[in-house]
Amino acid sequence: MLSIGGGSSSYSLSSDNEARSIADYLWNNFLSGSSNSRPLGDAILDGIDLTSRVVNATTLRWPPDYPSSVGEAGSPKSFKDSWNKWTSSITASKFFVGLPASQATAGSGYLRPNVLISQVLPFVKGSSKYGGIMLWNKYYDDKNGYSSKISSSV
């Protein structure tokens, strides 16, 4: 999975054409499209995580339990409640658990590796909709080794 965006508000798209151009680039270089310059060679990613913040968009309506409630403050119970709600109300075949790789990458929602392994993974791995884990972000994962601490349990 390729993850784009994040907490910074210093980026934007200037037009619909720019958005289409980026979508075409991502499709052709990372998904099922074709390009002579695919950065990952013949690998085809199974998804892209786009994180974009909209400021002063009062006309937008988010679901009442937008993902910020998932795993809030590192609470396994909150995570389990949200997992059940999302997997029963959204018709997707697989769900990936997205977690910050460090407390420094997110204001909330960080789960220590031992808590993820002992309290969350046994629960989600029992779900037929469990697809895997994704971490935000690679820099902090490399610094603290989060993925190496959980990989044998995922």
pLDDT digits (tens, 9 = 90+) for 108-130: 778 899 989 998 899 999 999 99
Written as six digits, the tokens of 153 are 């349990």
3-state secondary structure 21-69: HHHHHHHHHHCCCCCCCCCCCCCCCCCEEEECCCCCCCCCCCCCCCHHH
Q: How much is the pLDDT for 127?
A: 94
Q: How much is the pLDDT for 98?
A: 85
CA-atom Rg of the chain in angstroms: 17
Q: Structure pTM?
A: 0.59
The mean pLDDT of 56-82, rounded to a whole number, is 54
User: Does position 66 have pLDDT exceeding 60, yes or no?
Assistant: no
CA 58 to CA 71: how far, in whole Å?
26
pLDDT digits (tens, 9 = 90+) for 79-96: 788 888 888 988 888 888
CA 62 to CA 83: how far, in whole Å?
17
Q: How much is the pLDDT for 64?
A: 44
Q: How much is the pLDDT for 40?
A: 86
Residue 74's pLDDT band, with cuts at 50, 70 and 90, is low
CA 135 to CA 130: how far, in whole Å?
15
Give the list of residues 6+ apart from residue 1 with CB closer than 8 angstroms, or none. Answer: 45, 46, 47, 48, 49, 96, 134
Q: How much is the pLDDT for 36?
A: 92
pLDDT digits (tens, 9 = 90+) for 1-10: 566 665 555 6
Q: b/e map of 105-127 (b: 16 or more CB within 10 Å)?
A: bbeebbbebeebbebbbeebeee
Map out the domains of the chain as residue ranges: 1-55, 66-154
The mean pLDDT of 44-54, rounded to a whole number, is 70
pLDDT digits (tens, 9 = 90+) for 95-104: 888 888 999 8
Q: Which amino acid is at 129?
A: K
Q: How much is the pLDDT for 144?
A: 93
Q: Which helix (H) or strand (E) holds 115?
A: helix 113-115
Q: Position of tokens 């407390």?
A: 103
CA distances from 112 to 52, 71, 100, 109, 117 (A): 26, 12, 10, 10, 9
